[in-house]
Structure 1
Amino acid sequence: MTQSVSVLPVSHPAPVHQSSASPPLRKAQPAQPTRLRLAVRAFGRDKAALVSLTVLLLVGMAALFAPLLAPHDPLVGDASQRLAPPLTPGHILGVDGQGRDILSRLLYGGRYSLGVAIVPVLLAFPLALAIGLFAGAGRTRLGSAMMRALDAVFAFPIVLLALAIAAVIGGGMSNVMLAIFITLIPYMARVAYTAAVQESGKEYIEAARCQGASNAHILFRELLPNVMSPLVVYATANCGLMIVVGAGLSFLGVGIQPPTPDWGVMTADGNQVLLEGYAHVATVPGLAILLAAVAFNLLGDGLRDALDPRKQTS
Structure 2
Amino acid sequence: MSALTEAVGTGRSLIGTRRTPAGGHARAKAEASKPAWRLAVRAFSRDRMAVLSLVVLVVVALAAIFAPLLTSYSPVAGDPVNRLAGVGTDGHFLGLDGQGRDIWTRLLYGGRNSLLVAVIPVLVVFPLALMIGLFAGFRRSRAGEVTMRVLDVLFAFPLVLLAIALSAVLGAGLGNVMLAIGITLVPYMARVAYTATVQESSKDYVEAARAYGANPLLLMFRELMPNVVVQLLVYATTLCGLMIVVASGLSFLGVGVIPPTPDWGIMTADGKNVLLEGIYHVATIPGLLILVVSLAFSLVGDGIRDALDPRKQTS
Task: Give, in whole Å, the separation in 1 of the partners of 2:71 and 2:138.
Answer: 50
Task: Give, in whole Å, the separation in 1 of the partners of 2:154 and 2:90.
Answer: 51
CA shift for structure 1 position 37: 1.8
Which residue in the other structure is 1:209 paired with? 210
CA shift for structure 1 position 124: 0.4
Which residue in the other structure is 1:273 paired with? 274
Task: Give, in whole Å, the separation in 2 of the partners of 1:39 and 1:208.
Answer: 26
TM-score by length of 2: 0.89
Which residue in the other structure is 2:163 paired with? 162
Task: Give, in whole Å, the separation in 2 of the partners of 1:217 and 1:313.
Answer: 30
Structure 2 residue 147 is the aligned partner of structure 1 residue 146: yes
Which residue in the other structure is 2:120 paired with? 119
Superposition pairs of residues 69-84 of structure 1, within 5 angstroms: 69-84=70-85
CA shift for structure 1 position 70: 1.9
Task: Give, in whole Å, the separation in 2 of the partners of 1:35 and 1:225.
Answer: 13
CA shift for structure 1 position 301: 0.5
Structure 2 residue 53 is the aligned partner of structure 1 residue 63: no
Which amino acid is the alignment partner of residue 100 of structure 2? G
Which residue in the other structure is 1:90 paired with? 91
Give the superposed CA RMSD.
1.1
CA shift for structure 1 position 232: 0.3
CA shift for structure 1 position 33: 1.3
Which amino acid is the alignment partner of residue 247 of structure 1? S
Which residue in the other structure is 2:314 paired with? 313
Which residue in the other structure is 1:10 paired with? none
Task: Give, in whole Å, the separation in 1 of the partners of 2:164 and 2:217.
Answer: 40
CA shift for structure 1 position 308: 2.0
Task: Give, in whole Å, the separation in 2 of the partners of 1:180 and 1:37.
Answer: 34
SS of the residue aligned with 1:89?
coil
Task: Give, in whole Å, the separation in 2 of the partners of 1:166 and 1:307.
Answer: 36
Which amino acid is the alignment partner of residue 155 of structure 1? A
Task: Give, in whole Å, the separation in 1 of the partners of 2:313 and 2:187.
Answer: 31
CA shift for structure 1 position 251: 0.3
CA shift for structure 1 position 175: 0.3
Which residue in the other structure is 2:228 paired with? 227
CA shift for structure 1 position 55: 0.3
CA shift for structure 1 position 74: 0.8
Structure 2 residue 145 is the aligned partner of structure 1 residue 106: no
Which amino acid is the alignment partner of residue 40 of structure 1? V
Aligned length: 286
Which amino acid is the alignment partner of residue 52 of structure 2? V
* 1:40-89 C-alpha deviation (Å, 9 max, x unpaired): 11111111110000000000000000111123111110111110000000
Which residue in the other structure is 2:252 paired with? 251
Which residue in the other structure is 1:297 paired with? 298
Which residue in the other structure is 1:17 paired with? none
Task: Give, in whole Å, the separation in 1 of the partners of 2:136 and 2:186.
Answer: 14
* 1:88-132 C-alpha deviation (Å, 9 max, x unpaired): 000000000000000000000000000000000000000000000
Which residue in the other structure is 1:37 paired with? 38
Any stretches of 5+ residues in structure 1 without a counterpart?
A: 1-28
Task: Give, in whole Å, the separation in 2 of the partners of 1:225 and 1:45.
Answer: 24
Higher helix proportion? 2
Task: Give, in whole Å, the separation in 1 of the partners of 2:132 and 2:308.
Answer: 22
Task: Give, in whole Å, the separation in 2 of the partners of 1:136 and 1:86.
Answer: 54
Task: Give, in whole Å, the separation in 1 of the partners of 2:163 and 2:199.
Answer: 30
Which amino acid is the alignment partner of residue 132 of structure 2? I
SS of the residue aligned with 1:152?
helix
Which residue in the other structure is 1:174 paired with? 175
Task: Give, in whole Å, the separation in 2 of the partners of 1:43 and 1:128.
Answer: 26
TM-score by length of 1: 0.89
Task: Give, in whole Å, the separation in 2 of the partners of 1:44 and 1:225.
Answer: 22
Any stretches of 5+ residues in structure 2 without a counterpart?
A: 1-28
Which residue in the other structure is 2:11 paired with? none
Q: Percent identity?
A: 65
CA shift for structure 1 position 312: 2.1
Which protein, 1 or 2, shows the higher relative CO under an 8 Å CA cutoff with sep ≥ 6?
2
Task: Give, in whole Å, the separation in 1 of the partners of 2:269 and 2:238.
Answer: 25
* 1:263-311 C-alpha deviation (Å, 9 max, x unpaired): 0000000011111111000001001100100000000110111112332
Task: Give, in whole Å, the separation in 1 of the partners of 2:150 and 2:310.
Answer: 33
Superposition pairs of residues 185-196 of structure 1, within 5 angstroms: 185-196=186-197
SS of the residue aligned with 1:145?
helix
Which amino acid is the alignment partner of residue 120 of structure 1? P
Task: Give, in whole Å, the separation in 2 of the partners of 1:306 and 1:129.
Answer: 21
